[in-house]
Amino acid sequence: MSLWTVFGSEFIGTCLMIAVAVMVCGSRALPRTGAFGGDWINAALGWGLAVYVGVYVGWRSGAHLNPIITLARVLRHQFDPSVTMNGVALADGGVPVGAAAVVVYIAAQFAGAFAGACLGWAAIRKHFDEPAPADAKLTIFCTKPPIKSPLWNMITEIIATFIQVCWVFVNGGTPTAVGPLGIALVITVLVMGLGGVSGAAMNPARDFSPRLAYFLLPIRGKGDSDWGYAWVPFAGPLIGGALGVLVPTALGLIA
């Protein structure tokens, strides 16, 4: 598989994932939509199904959609050289682990997340013109914890990402091909449990690129982009993702 195909797969998968998520979050946060005021289950299920859409569309590259998953595969490769970027054997079209591939995966994810945020915004453009709290508009795009405590917010992100990555590497590998649905349900329950605490980013591209889109887009009544918090959805997932590989590897749980 060419790196151009990898880029396209990761770009479109991440783009559609973020677009759907922005539409879901915007519809429940912005006045005069039919879904305004929807509860947290609505947001959690919406995020889970957004991941489901992205994973199915981005299947050819392995549907990482997240720099943490990409780096986790690189880390796992250090223990098992047969591991490829897309989970397919090299003889069958696997993408070899290497610096060029890592750059392409991560660049596509950040670019796709930015494009997806803009696409989601465009889909509900007129509703952003209606009066709404600036923080409500910000959290349509990125995370902003109700209680800002960077250390504990980072710990929340570490735990959420650890669970996510551990599941990705240890899940049962059943022959029924339920992987996309499985990870969608994992994301749903993690957002249910921790989305109201830290936002449950678990993905630097999911937070940074939409935050940048919010900063650049002509959104009426928007406030500060809270760049001072933006490092948390990088640091927490990086640590949690590494633990999600190292712990099950040490326990002999990864086949």
CATH number for the domain running over 3-250: 1.20.1080.10
- Between 232-250 and 67-79, two packed helices, what is the crossing angle to 10 degrees? 30
- How many CA atoms lie within 13 Å of 127's alpha carbon, on the beta-carbon side? 23
Quick one: three-class SS letters along 69-109?
A: HHHHHHHHHHHCCCCCCCCCCHHHCCCCCCHHHHHHHHHHH
* In the chain, domain spans: 3-250
Residue 85: which residues within 8 A CB-CB, separation 6 or more? 6, 61, 62, 64, 70, 73, 94, 95, 96, 97, 101, 102, 105
User: What is the model's pLDDT at position 177?
Assistant: 57
User: What is the model's pLDDT at position 38?
Assistant: 76
User: What is the model's pLDDT at position 235?
Assistant: 98
Joined tokens for residue 11: 């770009």
| Among candidate residues 143, 122, 252, the one with its CA nearest the CA of residue 202 | 143
Give the chain's largest Cα–Cα span: 56
User: What is the model's pLDDT at position 178?
Assistant: 66
Sign of the dihedral defined by the CA atoms of residues 94, 52, 118, 194, in that order: negative
C-beta atoms surrounding 220 within 10 Å = 10
Using CA atoms, how far apart are residues 32 and 175, in angstroms rounded to an integer? 45
User: What is the model's pLDDT at position 255?
Assistant: 67
Residue type, 44: A
- Between 232-250 and 204-216, two packed helices, what is the crossing angle to 10 degrees? 170
User: What is the model's pLDDT at position 35?
Assistant: 82
- How many CA atoms lie within 13 Å of 159's alpha carbon, on the beta-carbon side? 13
User: What is the model's pLDDT at position 40?
Assistant: 84
**End-to-end alpha carbon distance in the chain:** 25
- Per-residue pLDDT 10s for the chain (255 aa) are 899 999 999 999 999 999 999 999 999 999 988 888 878 888 999 999 999 999 999 999 999 999 999 999 999 999 999 999 999 999 998 999 999 999 999 999 999 999 999 999 999 999 999 999 999 999 999 999 999 999 999 999 999 999 999 999 998 665 555 678 889 999 999 999 999 999 999 999 999 999 999 999 999 999 999 999 999 999 999 999 999 999 999 999 986
Joined tokens for residue 184: 């969608």
User: What is the model's pLDDT at position 234?
Assistant: 97
Residue with tokens 């508009």: 137
Using CA atoms, how far apart are residues 138 and 151, in angstroms rounded to an integer? 21
